[in-house]
Structure 1
Amino acid sequence: MKKQELKYVIFKMLELKLVEIRKEINNISIIDLYNYINNIILKKDKIRNVNDAAFYIMNIKVNKLFEYINYESIKDDSNTIASDLKSILEG
């Protein structure tokens, strides 16, 4: 399978998984899903073919993804006490 075809198939699998995940997490985007796969799942592994992609994408657990999104929002450097106080005081 050509690399471009593999990208297309992976994108379609991500869209399918996103539909399933949106039943549990309403405000998730495909970018969140992509970042989770890239930063967590593919940290040690690599997608070599459609079977690898299907295995990794379809075995994503909603609670693990939810934990990752929460962690990313906590880790966000733009959310500091100073910026929170500033936004509160600006009203």
Structure 2
Amino acid sequence: MNKNSLEKIIYKMLDLKLLEVKREIKNISFNDLYGYLMDVILKKNSVKDLNDISFYIMNIKINKLFEYMNLVEITQKNDTVINDLKSILEG
């Protein structure tokens, strides 16, 4: 299988998983799911073939994905503790 066809297959699997996840997390995007796959799953696990990647994608847990999305939102560079404190004190 060439790289282009693998990318298409992985994209379709992520899209399918996104449909399933959207029932629980309404505001999730494809980029959130892709980020979770790259930042969490593939950093911990090695991928040997398409079976491995499909296993990891289809076994993504909703609660772990939600925790990841919250962590990303908290650690964004434009959100700092100082800005949070200012908004609390001003508000």
Q: Gaps spanning 5+ residues in structure 2: where?
A: none
Decide whether the 8 Å contact of 1:18 with 1:30 is kept in 2: yes
Percent of aligned positions that are identical: 49
Q: TM-score when scaled to structure 2? A: 0.86
Q: Which residue of 1 aligns with 2:18?
A: 18
Q: Distance in 2 between matches of 1:45 and 1:33?
A: 16
Q: Distance in 1 between matches of 2:63 and 2:22?
A: 12
Q: Gaps spanning 5+ residues in structure 1: where?
A: none
Q: Distance in 2 between matches of 1:20 and 1:42?
A: 20
Q: Which residue of 1 aligns with 2:76?
A: 76
Decide whether the 8 Å contact of 1:36 with 1:68 is kept in 2: yes
Q: Shift of residue 50 of structure 1? A: 1.8
Q: Distance in 1 between matches of 2:30 and 2:47?
A: 18
1:63 match: secondary structure: helix
Aligned length: 89
| Cα-to-partner distance string for 1:19-70 (whole Å, 9 max, x where unaligned) | 0000000000010001101010000323332211210100000000000101
Decide whether the 8 Å contact of 1:14 with 1:57 is kept in 2: yes
Report the more deviating stretch, 71-80 or 44-53. 44-53
Instruction: Please report the RMSD computed on the Cα atoms of aligned residues, expressed in angstroms.
Output: 1.9
Q: Distance in 1 between matches of 2:46 and 2:3?
A: 14
Q: Distance in 2 between matches of 1:77 and 1:4?
A: 33
Q: TM-score when scaled to structure 1? A: 0.86
